[in-house]
Structure 1
Amino acid sequence: MQNPVFGALCATLLGLAAGPALSHATLEKSEAAAGAAYRAVIRIGHGCDGQTTHTLRVELPEGFYNAKPMPKPGWTLETVKGAYARPFDNHGTQMTEGTREVVWSGGALQDDWYDEFVIRGTVGADVAPGTVLYFPTVQECAEGKADWTDVSGSKEVPNPAPGLTVTAGKADHGHGHGHSHGHGHGPDAQAAAAGGPVVLGDLALSGGFSRATPPGAPVAGGFLTIANGGDEDRLVAAHADFAGRTEIHEMAMEGEVMRMRELPDGLAIPAGATVELKPGGYHLMFMELKQPLVEGETVNVTLSFEKAGEVSLPLAVGPRNAGAQKGGGHGGH
């Protein structure tokens, strides 16, 4: 007769051994506000029944717009474009199509390894709170696949798709996509123009300025102070109508040389901390300028935070050396 204790122990050990194979593909953060920027971090904890994963496919849900995947060393990145069911208002530009599927291939994620795959985008402002946006995910291996594509929402299915629950947006402060709010015309923007801070949830943004540029200059810098009275957040994107693109940069020493570089993951705003974007340090970089920045005028930039959402901030255009006494020169940016 089999020893019941021995049998129970074997069952436990077998269950533990099978544990990794039952690990689902999941999102690092399972909630995001309507109208907010969202960084979808898809966590993969194993291969296909002991095999190495060489391809990962992620289908993007309707309601998740302006998606930009992050390249991974050793993997080939492809995107599949398609039409949106509803047009998406991207800062005044109607977008009718965009990335609908992301494929990483040619990699080698072994069965006992863990990895993350990142896609940054925006949750539509018109997505109702409580809606779950699913990211069906398929791992492909040499023989077979592991699919996480069930979008029923049931906790009993063996292959649930990673799901993002949409929460209410901060309509009083942010400028979510899909709405017709003008930038720089709300009460917070007026307060900033009068010298007061712009408040977005637990964040207070103040001291926004830029520098005048000569005709034909291709770039300019943007500077401000962000005080965080709540949990950690992250500045993940910025947009300005007067520039072809806007990036988040830092100045950092590489050996004995000070170099400027983009922060592809954005800028962390620690809990309870104040982060200053200033000449010679962290800053916004406005690239492919469409017009010169003129001293005495005011321009607007839209900032996207991972948790707090979006807000428009006016920047006072000062002289070409504005802020130099605070952080040193920065090549005119």
Structure 2
Amino acid sequence: MSRARSSRSGAGTIPPPTGAPVTESLPIVRLRHPWRAVFAVVLVLALAGFVVDAAQRSAYGWEYVGTYVFDKRISAAALVTLQLTVYSMAIGVVLGLALAVMRLSPNPVVKSVAWLYLWVFRGTPVYVQLVFWGLFSLIYPQIVLGVPWTDLHIALDLAFMQNAFLIAVLGLALNEAAYMAEIVRAGLLSVDDGQEEAATALGMSWWHSMTRIVIPQAMRVIIPPTGNEVVSMLKTTSLVAAIPLTTDLYGVARDISAVTYTPVPLLIVASLWYLLFTSVLMIGQHFLEKRFSRGTGPRRPQNHRRARTLALSAAANARHDGGDE
């Protein structure tokens, strides 16, 4: 008898407790936000006005934008920028992982060395670091390693440090490693210690527990800020002129604008290529987050409200059925 009454109660209504008078369900009235609609209309009109004005303003030089956006020099420079981003992030992620493990080490010396690295590279501007690495081969033309007070030594020539592209990758990677270390450390700390303890109790080694239990769960926390770091790295490559390296996207666009006296159109061309790469990276980040977020609870506010409504309905039905029985 209780089940029949429970099934007749609508999915969106909560039946009254036992002994309470039966009342009709009240209609749901959505809260209106008139000023929100007004603000949205103002934003759309402002954006439309800016687009119309920019299309008619000759200072932007749209004819030069169309001429140089697919220029071979710009395309080659865009490839160099992409290579700088990929190589620097790959090295930065590996070094950051090593530094994160060092920060979590119980050895105070190892932990202090990692902390000192993060303090230096996070506390100084990346532009200053790139200038320093550009002058590194002048400060240290070679490095001599050997045993003191003996003739046993070996000299390492640092002539390869005069390669501007290599210096740019090294400087960007060393700076990025400091930030990736904190991201990875935060991700590892977000996983409960009981997960690793359970894996150890099941006879799994440290490597298997980290790669199969801890890291897959930590990736849900690591991926979003890492995606932001990749996008930031893409834009930070414009600072390699400090080395100097002028074959990147911004450097080539700046050199062309210096000859053609069209700085604004070339800035727009460089921005379009940056926006293209950024859009692709954001799409990839979205799918990675979606994959590693499988099995987690809903995060959207409307899902929270719907889940809360269903939970209250289920609880009320349970109380109602229990009272009838």
Common fold: TM-score over 0.5: no
Select the structure that is richer in strand: 1
Range into which the TM-score falls when normalised by the shorter chain: under 0.3
The higher-RCO structure (CA 8 Å, 6+ apart) is 2
Structure-1-length-normalised TM-score: 0.20
Greater Rg over alpha carbons, structure: 2
Q: TM-score, normalised by structure 2?
A: 0.20
Q: Which of the pair is proportionally richer in helix? A: 2
